[in-house]
Structure formats: structure tokens, C-alpha cells
Chain A
Amino acid sequence: MTETATTKEPNREPIKASEIDPKFKYELSRMHGSEKILRCFQCGTCTSDCPVARYSETYRPRTIIRMAQLGLRDRVLNSDTLWLCAACFTCTDRCPQDIEVASVIRVLRNLAAEKGCVPIVFKEQAASVLESGYAYKIPDLRIKKRETQGLPPLPKGNPESIRKTLKGVKFLENVEKKGEQQ
């Protein structure tokens, strides 16, 4: 069983003043999706309705929001639990303060990914999109089988054009660099 994201215990060390970045929340409130983060009053609706929190001992959206508000930038971004969210959007639809909670999580993941903290599966998918347009490598067998199944040929990706449009996307520099190292 893959257990990559829950093996590492979350950092429960006492918070040191030096860890706090007081401007982090303002930075977040200027980013697309986390504009309303300052409104969170810690009611806990997001965590109590979160399907992942029910079975994960570590994943708590409310805690993540609070840590971000406090300015615990590194703790949040280095935390493996950040990657557990299933993006079901239940929290977003139910937050009484109208915060797009799932999008705040997504913004935090984007920041973590820019630093290179990202589960391998996302790098593989990005590499696959650059190569074929598809997020998964579709086996040749599947593509051939379509004919016998009475399905039209699979539309092809245009990798050259895709690469051109994605020029300058920060995360991809990361994918290509990391790819060379491995």
C-alpha cells in the first residue's frame, strides 16, 4: 500500500517566533483562490465535513488554514499532509465564511511545488502531458484495441504546440531539472 503522505508525523514542536512570517497571510490573500483566507474564524466546519479527515490521523483543513494565517510558512509547505486533500470541494461549499478552502489548499500546494516539495506522481503526470498531451501514458495496446471496439481513433496531442504554450511555467522548470537529477 502506498502510504507516502501519512508516514511522516506532522511537526508538533512548539512554535518559535522566528518561524513566523507575519506577511504570509497577506501574500496568500493576494493570490487567486486564497483571497479570503483572513476571514477564517476557526469554526471547524471544513474539518468536520472533510471525508479525508475522517480516515487520516493527520489531515485537518482547519489546522492548515490556521497555520497559514499564523505565518508558519515552512511548516505548512513542508507538510506531507498537504497532499492528502481529495479536492472534493465540500469544505468550499460549506464554509460559513465563504472561503474557498480547497483552493487555499491548492494555493499552498502550488507554493510547495515551486520549492520542489511535491509527490512524484504529479511530476510524472506533468512530464506525460508535455510528451503526449495526455496525463497518463496510454498503452499502444489500448489505442489499437479501439478499432476492434468500434471506437474512433484517439485524438492526438500536439506536444510541440503544448510546450510552446507552457513556456515560462515555473513548476515545469522544476520538473525538468528534477528529472535530470533522478
Chain B
Amino acid sequence: MSSKYLIFLGCAIPYRVSSYEISARKVLAKLGVELVEMPEFNCCGLPLDPVSHEMMLILAARNLALAEQRGLNIMALCPGCAGTLKKVNKILKEDKALREQINGHLKEAGLEFKGTVTTKHLMQVLIEDVGLEKIKSAVVKPLTTLKVAEHNGCHILRPKEYIGFDDPEDPQTLKTLIEATGATCLDYMDETECCGAPSVGVSDKVALQLARDKLNHVKMVDAQALITICPFCHIMYDTNELRIEKMFNEAYGIPILHYPQLLGLAMGMSPDELAFNELRVNASKLLTQVTEGAK
């Protein structure tokens, strides 16, 4: 099945997580998902929801209206963006009065929200559009020697009323996708726990302690890497791992990989192509093992 989406990058990815974008684009191109760039961009609205729900609704609706004009559905790499666009689409379709209010704002710029497009996160596109069978058949270098752990993050699953994808208490999709690469996905304590990223800047102490718990639990089961599908979760673990090690006198050395990096390796792409060089936590040990394992 061929599929075509407007790719919604969000703010965090171009700001500091380009390895996620690079690897996702590579993998999707090879799996036959066609991506079209957004004609113009504004923030999905989520970061402003705490201070103005109205502003969030307008920003999200503006993006949906732009996508409607292009007649294409949206694929977001960031679960926060995907969740926000999904949620606002649902709210505005169901609440006529609110829709009229928001459309009053959009009209000022010649735009209108109609509710004719849908939004999916990358992971949903992989499992629902590409499908597990196609992914498995694209794997040419199965990562059978690898044992990793997954971190879904919150916004890909919650609040379940609006997201309606997988089970937030015991999610399976990412595990299934990881195992499709041939790697083993380990279970560990408090798998669905928040990474803490939204608390950075308000209380770094709380945020870093949450990230530390996660890394401790992942270390307990001897996972060789932690796999994420969210730019914020990735920043929280990859960018902060060294800082957490220093602050709490811990030693982890656990590389944090974006799922498309893992899949890309299994599809035979090189670490350079998949932007492994952009990771803060060195993954060379894992990469050596993967290349030797494939010989």
C-alpha cells in the first residue's frame, strides 16, 4: 500500500534532534511512504496550552486548515504534535460552538478548519500503513544479538480518550516493531513512566530524578540500548545521561536510539546514513556488535 503524508516536524526536532528526522526520512523512503513538506509552519500549540488553551486551539487548527487546503493527511514525528493535532481535530469536530469561535480567528488570515484530515504519529504509520509484514521483509540484517528496552513516552498513548492508540498501561506496538528488527525487547520496571522532560526549566531536580529512575530500571535488565520515538524523551535521556551520571554518581553508558535508527540498521543502512554520529551517548560498542553479528 502506498501512502502519502504531509510531514509535520514540530519545533523540537529542527531545534536539536535532527538525528530523528534524518533516520525517519531514510527509513520511510525505503518503505514507500511518500512525504510532502508542510507549505508553511507554525508550532502545533502544545507548549502554549498551559498558558492559553485558546492559543493552542488556534495554532493547532491553523495547521489542520493548511493541511486541508493541500488535501493531505498529516504524519508527525513528535508524539506531542501528533496528539495535539488529533485532539484538537476531535474537539473541534464535535463542538460546533467552539469550532465557530476558532474559525472566527482563522478567518482573519483567510483560513478555515473543516475537519477533513487526520493525523498519525510515525509509529502509527509504520504499523498501520506499512504493516509488520512489509517491515519484516525489509529487514536484511536482523539484529538478533541485541537486547534493548523501549520507552513509549506519555503523549503517544495518553490521554487515551483522545489518542485511542494501543493500551497506555501495557503498550505493545513499539515492542512489536522492535522485535521485527530481530532484536529482543526486554521488559523492565515502570516502563510507561514519564521521562520528565516537561518539568525541565520549572524544576530540573524533579525532571532529572525521573530520568534517572528510568535509566536505573533499564540498566537493571542489562538492556544495551533504550529505544525512543519522541524528540523530548530522547533529549531527556541522551542529552542528559552524562549529566545524570555525574549528578547522582551513577554509570550507565546506555545509548539512546530513535526507533528508525534501529530499524534502519536492520534494513542494512549505515550508522552514518542514520546520523548515529549526532548521538551524545556513544553507540560504537553496540554498532560493532551489530556488524560482527551480521557477518
Total inter-chain residue pairs, C-beta < 8 Å: 198
Interface size of B in residues (CB-CB distance below 8 Å): 59
Interface size of A in residues (CB-CB distance below 8 Å): 68
Q: Does A17 contact B (CB under 8 A)?
A: no
Q: Does B32 contact A (CB under 8 A)?
A: no
Q: Does A15 contact B (CB under 8 A)?
A: no
Q: Mark A137-174, 1 if CB is under 8 A from B, else 0.
A: 01000110110011111111110011011111111100
Cβ-neighbour of B109 out of A89, A92, A142, A164 (below 8 A): A164
> Can you name the residue of chain B whose Cβ is closest to the Cβ of A94?
B169
User: Is B14's CB under 8 angstroms from A134's CB?
Assistant: yes
In the complex where A55-B209, A136-B15 touch, is A102 in contact with B159 (Cβ < 8 A)? Answer: yes
User: Is B22's CB under 8 angstroms from A150's CB?
Assistant: yes
User: Is A155's CB under 8 angstroms from B37's CB?
Assistant: yes
By a CB distance below 8 angstroms, the chain A residues around B169 are 93
Q: Does A41 contact B (CB under 8 A)?
A: no
Q: Does A109 contact B (CB under 8 A)?
A: yes
Q: Does B242 contact A (CB under 8 A)?
A: no
Cβ-neighbour of A106 out of B49, B168, B193 (below 8 A): B49
- Secondary structure type dominating chain A contacts: loop
User: Is B55's CB under 8 angstroms from A171's CB?
Assistant: yes
A129-B59, A155-B38, A155-B40 given. 20 additional CB < 8 A pairs?
A5-B202, A56-B203, A59-B206, A83-B202, A93-B169, A106-B50, A113-B52, A121-B201, A122-B51, A125-B43, A129-B48, A134-B41, A135-B47, A138-B14, A142-B14, A149-B18, A154-B9, A162-B62, A169-B54, A171-B51
A-B contact pairs, 10 of them (CB 8 A): A1-B204, A52-B206, A129-B43, A129-B59, A146-B18, A155-B38, A156-B40, A161-B40, A164-B108, A165-B106
